[in-house]
Structure 1
């Protein structure tokens, strides 16, 4: 395969591990050319509880992606989220280094590094620095100062930090799977790049990423990330309810949920039936889609009710002007939007990737990371191993390795 450059994202979820392979084109755009998925093992509520099983899942997803694209994957960007993550404001100041006082990428990188210099407890580490605004010689509200003329460059930033132990375990799993880490990305921020519009962020919006084991809430106001939290509920709770209600195995309950599940009794059919193997009996029983919806709907209603309560507990309005944007694997449940509107209000929509073959909400994490990296000018995460050396793009500013050196220093 004669492709030149790739960005690889790794999304380690509670139910699925997903690897997305995107080719970087000559004009700087990206095109997704492959995806690898595997059932997530060794994970519970977004945290690693068995390293060996997690490594096996990562390796299976990577092997799947390698076979699809025909390349050897050696370097990935990893998404990070969870209740251990917290946000902290910071400010950085540097003098513009060039003689002509034109602000370059090195100056921007230096001021972001200056913002990293904050007092942190020894058990915490910086995951990412998110600029809110740049200030050039007192002129504020600048989103991209590159190419501007000035003497003093400042930045107001949000520092995303996490628990070192949890991050170390994540690093350990990825490295044991035979991969090197190009960088770690705060996953809710990457998902927001894909799912939220500028107007929604400015008005004030709550994004809920409802996965298999957890629901991640991300709040934006006046265009900026202002809060994030994780609720330990997800699609697994619906599966467990089905398993208990129908007295069947968890694997069978998951299959039934995906194939016949409807979120609203109003839209379920009593005529559509299916067979269920009952635990403790050799016989199968006939169950209708309406009976299944009677189990699913109350749990989904409870999930949306908890989301609204949690947003209020975070100190934000549970009726944001920009409404609620929902994504994640659970949002693939048929007619779930109707239940969401009853619980959260009419200003609710479901966000899905627009890429061909990946239009399910469960792919927003991996695809969001690709878009997030492209927007920030990260040129390359991994390369193919062709017979001839690949063409390299001219990098703007520091290379990926240089960008990651400072990040890795947090763990040394």
Structure 2
């Protein structure tokens, strides 16, 4: 890729749609633009209104375009939800080169062979994640390119999703006049930013606490071993505040963002605020302690549900503990509350880039890292060729020949080597 290439990620969440523009400069990433818009048409991480979702996508993309002064034509899109499933698979091919040197074509063929599995008609393959390659029986190979061998095998995890959810997501992006460069599983994108190599090897639970849903991913021995989505998140806290203070949901969200504290013991009694009450023209004064008495029980319940789900997924004893990300974990005292409930090591992951130092941007920045990693290996990664820039300056939209998104999607596959 040339030094001025652009990669754009699109993170469609329950509360916000975020478009992040990354500029690749000699192999490194600079975040040059961020656009966000209130998310409409999304409930608990699922699309319930296509037209509203399209409008939110357009607003976020337009915001990012105005910031940088370019036209965005292609995006990497994150996907998550409780419809995502993982399935182990095995592929075997003979090395095609006469000199028996394994090339990228051989790697592509063995990954395609691993994708030949029986699936119910309502599901389809989103991507494939290699666990290890085997060359003539030799195990533990992460990148067989350039090695000499006759027989190439792969042990991989196949990522599948519900056709309805996948096609609705693609349809929304297509109706927003964008092409999808690749679908990226949000957990795999986040781990590019949130987890170190050692954490993925020792065993770690990556927990993305969003507004409407919480996505849990278990990593062991360097691989994604399990994933799950719980229909809980920051919206539940907002709803509790709305009921407890008898105020509108929008006002409750504003109060949560400005005065929210996850623990009563860390809240301040002298911090006061007034709340307009439903069914009355008067306002009532509350303190941060009053608010924390509403917030703390729900926060503790969320972490208890997360812990129970991690144990169900086989992550009862994880040396790496828990790594939290997502917009909801920004609330003060959230980390302390998590440590008290989970009783293990917990930290919050934040992207280390100017302009996006916020846990809510982890997915979007992770997708850009994912695309860069794929391009560096000179291969596709669940996408169109990575050498094709996502956007260029002064490029008229009318000159772009659009390829059918559904046709492209049939040929995508994901590789994590």
Query: TM-score, structure 1 length as denominator?
Result: 0.92
3-state SS in 2 of match to 1:255: helix
Q: 1:404 to 1:29 in 2, by over 3 A?
A: farther
Q: 1:74 to 1:317 in 2, by over 3 A?
A: closer
Question: Post-superposition shift, 1:404?
Answer: 9.4
* Partner of residue 31, structure 2: 32
Aligned partners of 2:395 and 2:17: how far apart in 1? 30
Q: 2:391 aligns with which of 376, 383, 389?
A: 383
Distance 1:376 1:12, change over 3 A: same
Q: Is the 1:328–1:364 Cα contact (8 Å) retained in structure 2?
A: yes
**Pairs within 5 Å for 1:128-143:** 128-143=127-142
Q: CA RMSD in A?
A: 2.0
Q: Report the Cα distance in structure 1 between the residues aligned to 2:395 and 2:132, rounded to whole angstroms.
A: 45
Match of 1:350 among 345, 348, 351: 348
> Is the Cα contact below 8 Å between 2:72 and 2:392 reproduced in 1?
yes
Superposed displacement of residue 99, structure 1: 2.7
The separation in 1 between residues aligned to 2:140 and 2:317, in whole angstroms, is: 27
Q: Which residue does the alignment assign to 2:367?
A: 369
Q: Which residue of 2 aligns with 1:102?
A: 101
Q: Per the alignment, do residues 383 and 52 of structure 1 end up closer, same or farther by CA in structure 2, a change over 3 Å counting? A: same
Residue 22 of structure 1: CA displacement? 0.8
Q: Distance in 2 between matches of 1:293 and 1:347?
A: 24
Give the aligned partner of residue 225 of structure 2.
226
Q: Secondary structure at the match of 1:376?
A: helix
SS of alignment partner, residue 372 of structure 2:
helix
Q: For residues 351 and 188 of structure 1, what CA distance do their matches in structure 2 show?
A: 13
2:51 pairs with 1:49: no
Give the drift of 1:380: 4.0
Question: Counterparts of 1:303 and 1:29 in 2: how far apart (Å)?
Answer: 37
> Structure 1 317/182 Cα, relative in aligned 2: closer, same or farther at 3 Å?
closer
Return the offset for 1:100: 2.5
- Distance in 1 separating the partners of 2:205 and 2:193: 14
Assess if the C-alpha contact under 8 Å between 1:96 and 1:102 holds in 2: yes
Counterpart check, 1:11 vs 2:11? yes
Secondary structure of the 1:178 match is coil
Q: Which residue of 1 aligns with 2:206?
A: 207
Q: Which moved more, 1:68-77 or 1:377-386?
A: 377-386
Cα distance, 1:379 vs. partner? 3.4
Classify the secondary structure of the residue corresponding to 1:213.
coil
Contact 1:201 1:222 survives alignment (8 Å):
yes
Q: Check conservation: 2:218, 2:315, Cα contact below 8 A.
A: no
The aligned runs of 1:7-406 (5 Å cut-off) are: 7-25=7-25, 27-314=26-313, 316-377=314-375, 378-386=386-394
Q: CA deviation at 1:406?
A: 6.5
In structure 1, distance between residues paired with 2:357 and 2:85: 30
Match of 2:379 in 1: none
Shift of 1:387: 6.9
The CA distance in 2 between the partners of 1:64 and 1:7, in whole Å, is 16
Measure, in 2, the Cα distance between the counterparts of 1:244 and 1:406.
47
Contact 2:263 2:337 survives alignment (8 Å): yes
Equivalent-residue separation in structure 2 for 1:321 and 1:129 (angstroms) = 26
What is the alpha-carbon distance in structure 1 between the residues aligned to residue 69 and residue 33 of structure 2? 9
1:357: how far off? 1.3
- Structure 1 position 409, deviation (Å): 5.1
Please list the CA deviations of residues 252-307 of structure 1 after superposition, one character each: whole Å capped at 9, or x if unmatched: 11111111111111110000111111111111111111111111111000000001
The offset of 1:381, in angstroms, is: 4.6
